[in-house]
Chains A and B, each alone.
Chain A
Amino acid sequence: MARKLMKGTEAIAEAAIRAGCRLFFGYPITPQNEIPEYLSHRLPQVGGTYVQAESEVAASNMLYGASGAGVRVLTSSSSPGISLMQEAVSYMAGAELPVVIVNIMRAGPGLGGILPSQADYLQATKGGGHGDYRVPVLGPWSVQEAANLTMEAFDIADRYRTPVMVLGDGLIGQMMEPVELPDERPPAPDLPPKTWASTGWKGDRPRAVINSLYLDADTLEAHNRHLQQKYRQIRERERRFQMRFEEGDYDLLVVAYGTVARVALSAIEELREQGRRVALFRPISLYPYPYRELAAAAEKARAVLVLELSAGQMLEDVRLALGRSRPVHFHGRTGGHLISPEEAANRMVEVLEGRSQEVADV
């Protein structure tokens, strides 16, 4: 495997192909256009099909149909486009269809701007569409990890029959880094066969009906119980996180995901050289959120600082994990502004020196 310099968007697109994805439906929007652009020429080379739909609504419903036929399928978009897809995501969650959705977040709300943001966290992790459902969400912090998690997302989708989202920001989409990709990344060997898929009825099994409509309350409640059982399994088995500087003591625990965690890491490394005791907790799976692991990591710290490119969305999960056990501080940027390492370091020092106010309850 040779290292190749790739943009995050291109690496995600190529990773999907290596994972056996042969269908893409989408509609262009900045800052993720290189994904459809790349797949428009790359998919035909491997016998796949690229369709630019007439809208995100159409693309997401094409996803529903393709997944119902049992094939690996991808779409990608950015914040406003992802909002348009949420109806179909709810339907796919209801009909238990495995698909992979990439959201390269831009600043909102509304059309907002095209610069990086993490302000779709709540939409991604707490639902997005209507009804009681959850979508596993993975937040990469490097181009290599974006590629790896995209490949893994297809397995998670197939294992649990659910939409899975790869949630990156504009920075991860637009930056280039060296990437190593396997020639082929076959599906995990223990994935269940897709006996439910609608692939043509030959009389040898019950008809495969792909549906999310259950008009009878008892039937629908039973279906919901089944879905919740599945989400419990996902919460048990699919938590992913990483810590840095967890060995030894630390006074401050910084929590950040995606590219912001890298900015935080740079700041922490600089502060540690000055003798400050700071550690990093980076959730990789945003749903399921690593609550228990975060709570355990915070035990050593006197305070916790959350950094995000939003007004404070993952912050809610951090507070859910920690309750009132530790003072939680927050620093966020919006509008497409990034947090610089200097800015992050300054906030860390403020918290360490007692010059920061903890997040209030209202």
Chain B
Amino acid sequence: MQYEMVIAGFGGQGALLIGKMLAYAGMKEGKEVSWFPSYGPEMRGGTANCTVVISDRPVGSPVVQRPRALLALNLPSLDRFEDAVRPGGVILYNTSLVNRECRRTDVVVVPVAANDLANALGNPKGANMVALGAFVGATEVVPMTQVEALVRETFARKPALVDVNLQCLQAGFGEARRCVEGRDRPAAPGM
């Protein structure tokens, strides 16, 4: 089983970091992984993106034209990669910064207001963690426990940031799970 994903946003939104954390969590799970960033000349306000592959076997091409999942943190990212996602894949996009609907009907579409959720939790800088949690919830590409452990590790030197980032991560995860599960059946009470 091999899973390819593109994480995209504008510079500073954390697209490359989210990708790294996914790759790292995959590696911790004993999987083969690759992470490749776009490093070419990008227009200001344009997209920064990376491709992550998580696989049971050695990763072949680290470059992917047709990923199985897309995390679009802003509108230019959705515009650029929306059509590339394989049918049956997942498109998760940040409705806080995307003012249109996703056009695809042959993929699982998961809209999550990452910035709004982070703001509501009093941690505006945590939008990337909301997005990461939501992406893990929507794709289940790595176990959430692995990502939570990673957040604890990443912020080990700044303990004050552990809980607020975990909150954001879990909020995103919950939102995406409700969205995905809501497709087949009503959300369970209390969720």
- The 22 sampled A-B contact pairs (Cβ below 8 Å) are A5-B27, A5-B33, A31-B39, A170-B39, A171-B36, A171-B63, A175-B35, A175-B37, A175-B62, A176-B20, A176-B23, A176-B35, A177-B33, A177-B62, A262-B59, A262-B60, A267-B61, A336-B40, A340-B63, A340-B64, A341-B65, A342-B66
Complex: chain A residue closest to B37, CB-CB: A174
Interfacial residues of chain B within 4-43, with CB under 8 A of chain A in the complex: 20, 23-24, 27, 32-37, 39-41
CA distance A182 to B114 in the complex (A): 42
> What string of 1s and 0s marks CB contacts (under 8 Å) between B46-88 and chain A?
0000000000001111111110000000000000000000000
- Inter-subunit contact B34/A341 (CB<8 Å): no
Q: Which residues of B contact A175 (CB under 8 A)?
A: 34-37, 62
A114 at the interface (CB under 8 A from B): yes
Q: Which residues of B contact A265 (CB under 8 A)?
A: 60-61
Interfacial residues of chain A within 1-56, with CB under 8 A of chain B in the complex: 3, 5, 30-31
Q: Which residues of B contact A114 (CB under 8 A)?
A: 39-41
Interface centre among B37, B58, B61 (most CB of A within 10 A): B61
Interface centre among B39, B41, B58 (most CB of A within 10 A): B39
- Inter-subunit contact B63/A5 (CB<8 Å): no
CA distance A314 to B66 in the complex (A): 28
Q: Which residues of A contact B27 (CB under 8 A)?
A: 3, 5, 178
- Inter-subunit contact B60/A269 (CB<8 Å): yes
CA distance A177 to B33 in the complex (A): 6
Question: Nearest chain B CB to A15's CB is how many angstroms away?
Answer: 18
- Known A-B contacts A262-B60, A263-B60; the reply to A174 vs B39 at CB < 8 A is yes
- Inter-subunit contact A341/B37 (CB<8 Å): no
Interface centre among A30, A114, A175, A341 (most CB of B within 10 A): A175
CA distance A202 to B121 in the complex (A): 73
CA distance A336 to B39 in the complex (A): 11
Question: Nearest chain A CB to B22's CB is how many angstroms away?
Answer: 11
- Known A-B contacts A5-B27, A338-B63, A342-B66; the reply to A174 vs B33 at CB < 8 A is no
Complex: chain B residue closest to A178, CB-CB: B27
Task: Give the number of residues in A that approach B within 8 Å (Cβ atoms).
Answer: 28
> What string of 1s and 0s marks CB contacts (under 8 Å) between A316-343 and chain B?
0000000000000000000010101111
Question: Nearest chain A CB to B16's CB is how many angstroms away?
Answer: 10
> What string of 1s and 0s marks CB contacts (under 8 Å) between A92-107 and chain B?
0000000000000000
Q: Which residues of B contact A113 (CB under 8 A)?
A: 40-41
Interface centre among B20, B32, B60 (most CB of A within 10 A): B60
Complex: chain B residue closest to A107, CB-CB: B40
Which range contains the number of B residues in contact with the other chain?
Answer: 20 to 34
Interface centre among A3, A176, A259 (most CB of B within 10 A): A176
- Inter-subunit contact B24/A171 (CB<8 Å): no
A313 at the interface (CB under 8 A from B): no
Question: Nearest chain A CB to B13's CB is how many angstroms away?
Answer: 19
Question: Nearest chain B CB to A341's CB is how many angstroms away?
Answer: 5
CA distance A110 to B58 in the complex (A): 36
A266 at the interface (CB under 8 A from B): yes
Q: Which residues of A contact B41 (CB under 8 A)?
A: 113-114
Interface centre among A30, A170, A266 (most CB of B within 10 A): A266
CA distance A30 to B41 in the complex (A): 11
Q: Which of B20, B33, B36, B62 contacts A178 (CB 8 A)?
A: B33
Question: Nearest chain B CB to A184's CB is how many angstroms away?
Answer: 23
- Known A-B contacts A3-B27, A177-B33; the reply to A342 vs B40 at CB < 8 A is no
Q: Which of A31, A171, A177, A340 contacts B65 (CB 8 A)?
A: A340
Question: Nearest chain A CB to B26's CB is how many angstroms away?
Answer: 9
Q: Which of B23, B39, B60 contacts A266 (CB 8 A)?
A: B60
- Inter-subunit contact B33/A115 (CB<8 Å): no
Question: Nearest chain B CB to A113's CB is how many angstroms away?
Answer: 8
Q: Which residues of B contact A263 (CB under 8 A)?
A: 60-61, 63
CA distance A259 to B24 in the complex (A): 21
Q: Which residues of B contact A336 (CB under 8 A)?
A: 40
Interfacial residues of chain A within 108-122, with CB under 8 A of chain B in the complex: 113-115
Question: Nearest chain B CB to A21's CB is how many angstroms away?
Answer: 26
Interfacial residues of chain B within 140-155, with CB under 8 A of chain A in the complex: none
- Inter-subunit contact B61/A5 (CB<8 Å): no
CA distance A343 to B61 in the complex (A): 12
Q: Which residues of A contact B65 (CB under 8 A)?
A: 340-343
Question: Nearest chain A CB to B66's CB is how many angstroms away?
Answer: 7
Q: Which of A115, A176, A178, A262 contacts B61 (CB 8 A)?
A: A262
CA distance A31 to B32 in the complex (A): 24
Question: Nearest chain B CB to A31's CB is how many angstroms away?
Answer: 6
Interfacial residues of chain B within 100-142, with CB under 8 A of chain A in the complex: none
- Inter-subunit contact B36/A5 (CB<8 Å): no
Q: Which residues of B contact A177 (CB under 8 A)?
A: 33-35, 59, 62
Q: Which of A5, A170, A259, A269 contacts B35 (CB 8 A)?
A: A5
Q: Which residues of B contact A171 (CB under 8 A)?
A: 36, 62-63
Interface centre among B36, B59, B64 (most CB of A within 10 A): B36
Question: Nearest chain B CB to A291's CB is how many angstroms away?
Answer: 26
- Inter-subunit contact B40/A262 (CB<8 Å): no
